[in-house]
Structure 1
């Protein structure tokens, strides 16, 4: 790859990294004169058509992200190299190290650095999640730390392209398995909370210097993510604040519903710990009401000791021997009455003190997902879909069950978890990406599915071809479901205003034409008495003309003074052989009087060949110009005033 030039502008300089899917090179963008990083897909993935399609689609989606903690993607392309194809992504070039390298160098990071990096990583994820992109491969290897200590998260959208065929037992994939969420290990549904889990593992490694799960194979490590509880980080590093440990442990919960509901909540907690980093005794009480906590058991022996101590301090009064039984009975009776009063009083007082803070859970069963979600969120509760299953009793999209019974009381922001029916009459969505529109519609209709169309421009997908589909191929949906197809309109057509190139150097003109998005067309040299060699003397579109990008612009360029080339360029030999010699022809032309100068250009059309035989600028006060030019019998002369066609003069007929 070293020395190759991709897309006519990216010169590969050196390899600077590599991973399980791609190799990374430093390159020079010749057009913008800057260094970039180029990630080139490995050969073993180039032959996986499904992977390549996902790779390009997800990379293009990730290119839309813009955040100070996300590596910018400048370009996505493919280059033909003989019999092979090179798929690549052009990214921002970062001077720095990966977070993995920094952890290895320092063994473990300080609490302050860990919090600072975690905050920036979470900020990058928040931006991606808001744009509908889940990373799915958060690990220290994909996190760059710049020389000024800024986090840059890489590979957004690329991990989503990974299919089962890409999972191997290489060390690179093993590195990813250490940060997999349980649902990824099981091959289940992944979402934003999968990124939260992986970030929790990264925070754990930063602050302890160790990974929570180790194993001899990727499968062993994946099983531990699913089955084994994580060792609390404070057991490895006692200097970790309890509040920060609570954040990490909440991120790495096995059940997605037990983690942070979104990355924004995690950011708030990290910021809270950062602001109170000096107070390591601070406890996190935010979760006590929403999740089960392990509360230290009360030791019975300690209770007995406390009771004995209290009895010793009390002043004992002499009692009559025969009244002891009555006192015991009376004590038991009073205790029973007191307990009963407290029990019934609790429920009366409970409603008085807390009823205003509780929300009644609605009955969501049988309601469509969107209707149920709106009803729950309007009440100030969270709506969580934990599963989608095939069910014959409920129509597709209806709520089958909910974690809280109808009419039960919960606090504000409490998550209501539901299971959604996928219906019973299901079909798998066929893959129509990169198919012509007519063929794609036919395939979907054959499965009993309906089609909605959306259009967008694409530099890589031909016009009237499917760029992507929603839902994706392979998903099970009910017959009659509407499948959205995004159709290519071809390259986006932009307009540019044609500049004036006459009188400029041809090399500068070529560069400017390409920069504008136009194409350099035919470049023809013609002799000229007034302009030195290499100067443009004619352009196929006048200054100020509106052109579409990719339009070809033809140019005539001066080859130097005309001299005697018309008589001595070998044409006369042909004339002698054919018996048709050139002879002088005289023109009388009247100049425009409504402008100070007029540039006259004359093109001779002779034996099917066009050639500029005269070009010169005249002052208006010259009035009439008389010219004598050479031409054969049957030649014609086109006259242009300031590049505007005036007349065709037939001669020697």
Structure 2
């Protein structure tokens, strides 16, 4: 067990297990007890705490991802850069790398390759819009979730495009199979370098092979500079022509001939998605004349400006030989020949003298391209590989040594202290770890028996509880590695122990369009809880009507899950209000009644006086919100005025006038009776008139 597993960082992050080891950091699965979530934590290795270059790269990663927020980019939750420990807290991705998936599948169906590439380009388009270039796009840095979602990770060597525009070392940064030619030269690496890397990945997904492969990294880098990849359709004829054109354009060696942005490449792929038979008819300049290349990798390492083919046609220059002139006499020709021979002889003597002096000087001084071989024994091979001070061409042999850490260099040739070329061959013997032994199959064992069996076989054990519908609680469902597989002696075997059947999930009831109280009853009856209840003003549903739930209806959830509800406030729903008026008493004729709502006639008719109902007359009007004025006229004269408030749902009478009988102009019968004159008002009316 390492020194962090089982510990708690800053009183917050409980370290559960080591899930990965990179060149700079260890990666752990951990639990954030404050935010109640599983996270991944990258902890910088102790040996790099004093290395400012590695600390810079580690901080670069946190800075780069911190300004990004995209569903296809891993999230950063927290960072800590102390003197004793430096770590980054990231989103935990439960999946595999695209590299692992490619190793399983070999080549992918072109539709699947397009699906992955679209997501990668969307992530890069977001990063580039924030001024960040990844510079190490490769399948190992792409995580694939079970649902097919892509997450771009590892911005450890990313840079802000507004800052330094050239690589900071004499070595090409990134993985050599995927880097752009300009990265291999140590030149400008802008957003188009990421486009090239995406093109290489798309090529690999479609064909099942890399465009350039060789025995060593330097040879691959030179091929990136000089060679043209085999067209993908020559390897896999099933690839549509348009997709091959997209792939080859992304991989153009001249950045100006590539897609100039992730958005531009996205546009072509989306066009291809809509019409897989599309042809883009891209054309590129091809130099048919022989081109002279130089080793740009070596040139960059030696500090010289590299010379390379930039895609333009440079004609070979050959000086025209001098024309022979005829002399007027043969004697002059002979004298001239003698002079020329004398000059040549003198030149040869001087050249030989200079050459001999140079040989003597070279014997007494160390050449500029040599150095004293450092002692690499005892260092991790990955650290040596990533050390930008070493430009050696490393070859590796492995040896088992259980007493030392896996990956430690056990021996080296040439030995430390010898004079060697700076880019010469170095043989390293690397510890492959302890010997491998078979993992006992303990499936269906009781937990205690399984632990004892594995420990007796020479393994460490850790227990992970998992639900299982078929295996009883307390018994082993499987192990990682699987039973009968081989694993290094002394390594940790994960034992997956059943906790019994998983809780049966419940579908969220459909309570949309139901009253809040009815919805509450139905949700609780299903074994769930009502969570937050939110009012929404812009709904035309009646007040307290459910318009939305979260989770949505039908979604399976665990028992006692809280269901949040959004209900209508009713402010925008249509309402009907009633205004009640008493017609004048002791009127022997029918009365002509008109009702105006904000000047619009709502009712126009004749009413008969009926003392049996206290002459009560009800006027109904509809509306959604705000206040409107209702004016009632009897026999052509204003009788009563109401304010109809649709927000509160209540009318209020604000004015009343005496009834004017057309046959008796002096009548002073009031428009509304006193409280004593109203008598009994029917109790089934929803609204009572107010004065």
TM-score in terms of structure 2 length: 0.39
Higher CA-based Rg: 2
**Structure number with higher helix proportion:** 1
